[in-house]
Structure 1
Amino acid sequence: MNDHLGTKHRDNGAMSLAIVVVTYNSAEVLSGLLDSILPVIGEASSTAVLVVDNDSNDGSAEIAEAHAVGAKVIRTGRNGGYAAAINAAAATLPPQTAILVLNPDIRLVPLSLEHMIDCAASNNDIGVVVPRMLDPDGTIAMSLRREPSLVGMWAQALLGPRTAAHLGLGEMIAHPEAYRHRREVDWATGAALLITPEARARAGAWDESFFLYSEEVDYQRRVRASGLKILYEPSASVTHIAGAYMQSPMLAALMTRNQIRYFRRHHGWLETALFRCAIMVFGALRAWKSQAHRAVLRACLGPVGS
């Protein structure tokens, strides 16, 4: 393994792992994920599968309970959001257990689990391992990110996210070379994250005030602040089926508010105002395209919460 970070291995034996899947009306995609987990759970010496259901009404919990993967189903009785569901699962697990968080629309590729575990165990300063993410057609999804910044947001607003990414200015990392080799990143999309026991101990619980979106940005920032690394491992691959938030005005508005809330926590009022203005420009320039873009603009003009 081409580990440029060194060869210091953990001395605590085989890593205990729990796969945590958060569901909310996920019946359409959940069986496919559990099917993909079934043949690979033997790659880890001790692997549990937990499905945390956020009060679905489409039979998601029942699908998980009936599946041959033998998942433990945690029914939260409410839709408390992604972070709250992860915390509910983590509260049931010993602190020495690593957690692989998966969206229900993820599909594991054979040996992906083994490669993520090997990467996580290769050095004591690794906090989170993220796999290579593929679109359904097999192309690489641009899942790696830079820390949100004023330059990045204004580049996305004026040039568009894809153009800004290809110029190396936006939040999204788009250069193909970045996806070929193991590397440190600021953060990666939260659809598939392996969290080491060290990260659990140092970063603590996920922030439940982020109902959806920006919770993974916040968590991975706290992992980095604790002295641990976020590591991309290209030998581990997963397929991601969905992810079209800009088709939903409600989700687009929620993402916008949480982007502003997250940025405000780490920057002064002037920088935050300029950041918010950049998102406003993004929405205004594209308001003719869809209701979702108009929802972005309205979210910028209204309160975003604390």
Structure 2
Amino acid sequence: MTPEQAAHQAWRVEAGSPPDSTDLTHERVTVVVVMYNSGPLLADFVTSLEEGLAGVEFELVAVDNASPDDSAEIMETIAPSATIVRAQRNGGYAAGINLGVAAAGPHTAILVVNSDVRLGRNCVAQLLTRLRRPGVGIAVPRLVDGEGQVIDSMRREPSVFRAFCDAIIGAERAGRRALGEVITDRRQYEQEQTTDWAEGSTQLISAECWRVCGPWDESFFLYSEETEYDLRARDLGFSTIFVPSAGAIHLEGGSGISDTLWSLQVVNRVRFYRRRHGRLATVMFWLATFVRESTRAALGRQNSRAAARALMTPRYLRATAGPGSVRSKEGQEE
């Protein structure tokens, strides 16, 4: 049995108990998946939708971000009822999401999901029941990786203090002590709770939240777009809720990323922080981030060495990353 099959089987047994008696007959979910060189992932992705959206009416909108492979043709074959949107250019993850929502029919909620996610049984029904609570605009599931290990998907709002804690004692230790940005205390992943933001591979967004908040910010080609959206939603009165009874597998959630993608992630964190804070705070946040990456570079981490160089290059901090910067299939997936 492959790691993917083992993890999926575990979720079939452990996660996604039937939701309460809440009537979901008036719900209609638009599932938006952004494809970029996603062909090998699509068959299993589509298969998981039936189980993950059991009891829920849904439509699938698949956006192909100018893939060099035949992702669009594969999706047409395995999901003939899906709406296929062919982008004219690789505009990034947020741009693909926005194209998908623009092409959707009437809906009460939008499921933004990666093609490397496998939804657990009754996942979306569980999330929908939470979206009905006053003030909730986004609901996210408990994620595991391809080995069945829980992914630290909940986040606290970025701050200078948290960035320095991550840099000095490490993200894992800082997170366990509620000092860092990433929530790494595994006990927290057994509790239903609000979170400042969550990783963007699987997010259910209410239609009302989308109407008030608007589309995702396309200036972030990849990384920090979900941070921006979830915190913008919070600012406008819509919280993000973590639902451990809803389960999903993110196959690449625990894997490493290339030097280029890591640099993009690090730089976009600084760019995002600058959007919400003044010059002095941004300089301090940049410094904390540079300390973290340069320290790890000194310990031999190649991707941190690349990120430290990018942080010292003003044009990277100013510019919006484009398709020329990201050449792997990861370029469209969180």
TM-score relative to the length of structure 1 = 0.91
Q: 1:14 pairs with 20, 26, 33, which one?
A: 26
Quote the offset at 1:141 in angstroms: 1.0
Residue identity in the other structure for 1:115: Q
Aligned-partner Cα distance in 2 for 1:234–1:40: 14
User: Could you tell me which residue of structure 2 aligns to residue 305 of structure 1?
Assistant: 318
Q: Is the 8 A contact 1:127 1:196 kept in 2?
A: yes
Quote the offset at 1:208 in angstroms: 0.3
User: Could you tell me which residue of structure 1 aligns to residue 41 of structure 2?
Assistant: 29
User: Could you tell me which residue of structure 2 aligns to residue 74 of structure 1?
Assistant: 85
User: Could you tell me which residue of structure 1 aligns to residue 295 of structure 2?
Assistant: 285
Confirm whether residue 165 of structure 1 aligns to residue 165 of structure 2: no
Confirm whether residue 235 of structure 1 aligns to residue 248 of structure 2: no
Pair 107,291 (structure 1): closer, same or farther in 2 beyond 3 Å: same
Pair 176,39 (structure 1): closer, same or farther in 2 beyond 3 Å: closer
Aligned-partner Cα distance in 2 for 1:200–1:19: 14
Quote the offset at 1:137 in angstroms: 2.1
Q: Is the 8 A contact 2:54 2:125 kept in 1?
A: no
Alignment of 1:35-184 (within 5 A): 35-44=47-56, 46-68=57-79, 70-94=81-105, 96-121=107-132, 123-184=133-194
Q: Is the 8 A contact 2:151 2:253 kept in 1?
A: no
Residue identity in the other structure for 1:76: A
Quote the offset at 1:51 in angstroms: 0.8
Aligned-partner Cα distance in 1 for 2:238–2:106: 17
Residue identity in the other structure for 2:203: L
Deviations 1:188-236 (A, max 9, x none): 0000000001111111011100110000000001111111111111110
Quote the offset at 1:83 in angstroms: 0.5
Confirm whether residue 185 of structure 1 aligns to residue 195 of structure 2: yes
Pair 215,95 (structure 1): closer, same or farther in 2 beyond 3 Å: farther
Aligned-partner Cα distance in 2 for 1:219–1:118: 21
Aligned-partner Cα distance in 2 for 1:68–1:271: 48
Q: Is the 8 A contact 2:34 2:63 kept in 1?
A: yes
Q: 1:276 pairs with 274, 281, 286, which one?
A: 286
Aligned-partner Cα distance in 1 for 2:148–2:255: 21
Aligned-partner Cα distance in 1 for 2:256–2:50: 32
Worse overlay, 12-21 or 163-172: 12-21
Aligned-partner Cα distance in 2 for 1:137–1:69: 31
3-state secondary structure, aligned to 2:264: helix
Report 1 or 2 for greater relative contact order, CA contacts < 8 Å, sequence distance ≥ 6. 2
Q: Is the 8 A contact 1:43 1:113 kept in 2?
A: no
How many residues get paired?
296
Aligned-partner Cα distance in 2 for 1:200–1:25: 28
Percent of aligned pairs sharing the same letter: 38
Unaligned residue ranges in structure 1 (runs of 5+): 1-6
Quote the offset at 1:36 in angstroms: 0.8
Residue identity in the other structure for 2:287: C
Quote the offset at 1:94 in angstroms: 4.8
Deviations 1:267-304 (A, max 9, x none): 11111111111111111111142331111101111121
Aligned-partner Cα distance in 1 for 2:268–2:256: 15
